[in-house]
Structure 1
Amino acid sequence: MTRKNVAAVRLVERDEAAEVVELPEELRVSLAGIAGVAREGLLAMGATVGLMVMHEMMNAEMTAKVGAAKHAKLADREANWHGDAPGSVVLGGRRVPTERPRGRTTDGREIELGTYAQFTNDDLLSELVMERMLAGVATRRHVRVNEPVGDKLEAAARSTSRSSVSRRFKAATQAGLDELMSRDLSELKLAALMLDGVHFAEACCVVALAICVDGTKVPVGLWLGDTENKTLVTNLLADLVDRGLSADGGLLVVIDGAKALAAAVRNVFGSAALIQRCTLHKRRNVRDHLPKDQAWVDRKLAAAFANENTTHGERACRDLARQLEDRWPDAAASLREGLEDMFTVRRLGINGRLAATLTNTNCIESMISIARDTTHNVKRWRDGKMIKRWCAAGMLNAERSFRRLKGHKQMPALIAALERHVEAVTPACDTEQVA
């Protein structure tokens, strides 16, 4: 049996390391610092190495702007090194103190370093706080989920307290709300608009989701009140119009069936907007008026709403209402209410996947569901401003995961149908009389 010669591995003490390998003095000092923090974990060592690299980058930038010789006062220089200054940078979810090189021009102006400005940018910390809060990390737990940076850096770290995290999140959500409520809608080519309400404590936010002609979904606004009343929805729609939303080419508005929503839509957009009520809400409302052993009613109602022939579908619904009239009169009344708005999309000639998508409010309810999940850690709603900030944060968080509308390839057919509708309801202009 052949024996292999394997080099022996010998462990050395830290004091012996310098004798084992001859290294330059600066490198030995750096390695000693890294070796010390390496015992606290790989991430902590990475933080220390990262700070070293950052200092080298700042020194390199200052050298490029001032010159290599730090202490030389050369006559042809336009700037000189001016020692170091205390500062802080964002690292692993906190601010840690550091030193940065300084330089001044010959006329006394401070030289700014782009590298330092990037590493000290407060937006980095605000974005991290925002991500964690939206993911459900409580303010008191932010310190625990921070990346390890070593005991020395951790002891000197700042911006990790509950109040600091809360202030940053409040500022970030306010910025998000301002961005949402100032979006320019004049550049959006809209085909549809979905409206729905979401309740927080005793308040109600009516939210709006726009659907563009290419099938993309865009949150466009919210309005706070106590209920989904006509005034609240009218104010929201008026704000959207002020920011450029137009129904001149026709607009399909999908709502859950609330009368206030329909009244506000007609009040703001007139006959240019077509209302499609959510068929799922209608089925649920009728079902709630019936005992559980009457499931056959829901099956018939679902088949009627899926009928591509709107005349036959409406007739089936009215026949079903007559069947329910004597024994379940309230269920029959619920079925008849707003029945003509249940077939708007199919009346436009839209079927298939796009019809299945636009005959209910699932798209906007999905956004609302994410907004609710975002706020599950909130135990006390202090005021309306807080509600609006959190609601906007949830809407914008949902927007990041949006995909194009199911059936978006059929959008040209919808746009053409809306244009035909507008032409039909727009009074013809008497050109001879105008002349």
Structure 2
Amino acid sequence: MNKLTTSTAIPTRALKLEALSKISASFELFCLASGMEALGEMMDRDAQAICGPRHARGRNRRAHRWGKTKGKIGFHGGKVEIERPRLRGFDGKEQPVPSWEAAVAEDWLGKWAMNQMLINVATRKFARSVRLPEGDVPGPAGAGLSKSAASRRFVALSAARTRDWMASDLSGLDLLVIQIDGIHMDEDLILVAAIGVDVKGDKHPLGLAEGATENAATVQSLIDNLVERGLDPAVPRLFIIDGAKALSKAIRRTFGRAAAIQRCQIHKARNIMERLPKSLHASVRCVLRQAWELDDAAKAERLIRNLAQRLERDWSGVAGSILEGIDEILTVTRLGLPKELQRSLACTNIIENAMSTVRRVCRNVKRWRSASMAMRWTAAAMQEAARGFRRLKAHKQLPTLRAALEAHHNKDSHGNIARQAIAA
């Protein structure tokens, strides 16, 4: 059997009939030929609308036919050649064919490349992932299937989407919770990311900032970007972090000293366990779990302080670590939130899940050439993760969080007024 080709030397209708006669073995080519024929008919109608019928004369003509040329359009992640008419205006300039311009305007090739990269298809295998090696639609040189072509399209589209995302307006999001965490991309490169939860329980990736370390300056640049894009610092919110002091410092600098900050209880327990012998793990974990589950913040704090006191003699460093940041570790308890909502907001699981998607998407990258490259990949991965976001499990209890945050904010405001009056 002779192998079918997509050479544009064959008229599209003849190609379609040839593929139709062998449709059982060449359905893909039949679809391609049908699309080429349909596009050819659309271009002929456009040419007739602009130039009038062939060999006709009339005052309504805006151009005249100027032969045909070959052009390339996107198909199955690559390009195929197709003949298109050329139109020349009476001023001697090329006139566009509307249907052709519409066919090539949509960046389907960039979307194909983006999608393949996000599902971990290596650029070296891109051609095989979109065109069967034994298929009837060939992938010759210049078809846009090479690893460099796929990489260029991914870079262009991911850069454009990152710019749009980092400049998007946040003023329309009624955010109650913001989680901030960092991910190490390289030895001297860290990205700090933020994810917000609105009053309906929907999760939104908010932004990224790059830095050499997870210091206050890096976090501050992220927060400044969020504020510039419409995040109101005066609105009380709950901030959930992994415990880095730089995060707390930057948050309090922008949102006030009394900003509600919850340190991740899972990170806290993990850090404590890593410094203790296995013989103490069960007892210490039991005490911490009891403290997390208590409704009374004072009792929970007393329980944690008693644990630190018992460990003081033999494990003084661990005892100090237990007490470090004790105010922030019990924030959700002090706010008086329902149990289910406490469990959802006492840890950074939301952003950790997004970071796991980032690691999966970026696992084929062997070397980060620049911070902008890491930003592009991470932004694309976070937007990919957002497709799988589900509403917060305890979303029906979020009005309770709003009321608690407002009460906390008002209490702090009244306290500041009283202190100022005493000082005066």
**TM-score under structure 1 normalisation?**
0.85
Is the Cα–Cα contact under 8 Å of residues 193 and 207 in structure 2 kept in the other structure?
yes
2:215 alignment counterpart: 229
Distance 1:187 1:123, change over 3 A: same
Aligned: 1:46 with 2:31: yes
Is the Cα–Cα contact under 8 Å of residues 71 and 81 in structure 1 kept in the other structure?
no
Stretch of structure 1 that moved more, 262-271 or 110-119: 110-119
Question: What residue identity is the alignment partner of 1:169?
Answer: F
2:231 alignment counterpart: 245
Looking at structure 2, the residues matched to 50 and 258 of structure 1 have their Cα atoms a distance apart, in angstroms, of 56
Residue 279 of structure 1 deviates from its aligned partner by: 0.6
Distance 1:213 1:152, change over 3 A: closer
Is the Cα–Cα contact under 8 Å of residues 37 and 44 in structure 1 kept in the other structure?
no
1:84 alignment counterpart: 68
Question: What residue identity is the alignment partner of 1:177?
Answer: T
Is the Cα–Cα contact under 8 Å of residues 262 and 275 in structure 1 kept in the other structure?
yes
CA offsets 1:61-103 (integer angstroms, 9 cap, x no match): 4445554x32222355455444323211101111122111334
Equivalent position SS for 1:222: strand
CA offsets 1:339-383 (integer angstroms, 9 cap, x no match): 111111221121232211111000011111101111000111112
Distance 1:259 1:176, change over 3 A: same
Stretch of structure 1 that moved more, 96-105 or 266-275: 96-105
Is the Cα–Cα contact under 8 Å of residues 255 and 361 in structure 1 kept in the other structure?
yes
1:411 alignment counterpart: 398
Aligned: 1:182 with 2:167: yes
Is the Cα–Cα contact under 8 Å of residues 37 and 48 in structure 1 kept in the other structure?
no
Distance 1:71 1:248, change over 3 A: same
Aligned: 1:400 with 2:383: no
Distance 1:111 1:283, change over 3 A: same
Question: What residue identity is the alignment partner of 1:325?
Answer: E
Alignment RMSD (CA, Å): 2.6
Looking at structure 1, the residues matched to 137 and 271 of structure 2 have their Cα atoms a distance apart, in angstroms, of 62
Distance 1:232 1:107, change over 3 A: closer
CA offsets 1:22-73 (integer angstroms, 9 cap, x no match): xxxx998455432577475322332222222222232234445554x32222
Q: Give unpaired runs (5+ residues) of structure 2.
A: 3-10, 419-424
| Number of aligned residues | 405
Distance 1:346 1:63, change over 3 A: farther
1:433 alignment counterpart: none
Is the Cα–Cα contact under 8 Å of residues 82 and 102 in structure 1 kept in the other structure?
yes
Q: 2:343 aligns with which of 335, 338, 356?
A: 356
Counterparts of residues 70-219 of structure 1 (less than 5 Å): 70-104=54-88, 110-121=94-105, 123-148=107-132, 153-155=138-140, 157-202=142-187, 203-219=189-205
Stretch of structure 1 that moved more, 365-374 or 337-346: 337-346
Q: Give unpaired runs (5+ residues) of structure 1.
A: 1-12, 15-25, 430-435
Q: 1:316 aligns with which of 303, 307, 326?
A: 303
Aligned: 1:282 with 2:268: yes
Looking at structure 2, the residues matched to 66 and 277 of structure 1 have their Cα atoms a distance apart, in angstroms, of 70
Distance 1:373 1:306, change over 3 A: same
Equivalent position SS for 2:267: helix
CA offsets 1:222-254 (integer angstroms, 9 cap, x no match): 121222112221222122222221231212110
Is the Cα–Cα contact under 8 Å of residues 70 and 80 in structure 1 kept in the other structure?
no
Looking at structure 2, the residues matched to 424 and 27 of structure 1 have their Cα atoms a distance apart, in angstroms, of 75
Is the Cα–Cα contact under 8 Å of residues 16 and 34 in structure 2 kept in the other structure?
no
Equivalent position SS for 2:257: helix
Question: What residue identity is the alignment partner of 1:212?
Answer: D
Looking at structure 2, the residues matched to 235 and 414 of structure 1 have their Cα atoms a distance apart, in angstroms, of 27
Aligned: 1:336 with 2:323: yes
**TM-score under structure 2 normalisation?**
0.87
Distance 1:70 1:343, change over 3 A: same
The structure with the larger Rg is 1
Is the Cα–Cα contact under 8 Å of residues 248 and 422 in structure 1 kept in the other structure?
no
Looking at structure 1, the residues matched to 60 and 110 of structure 2 have their Cα atoms a distance apart, in angstroms, of 43
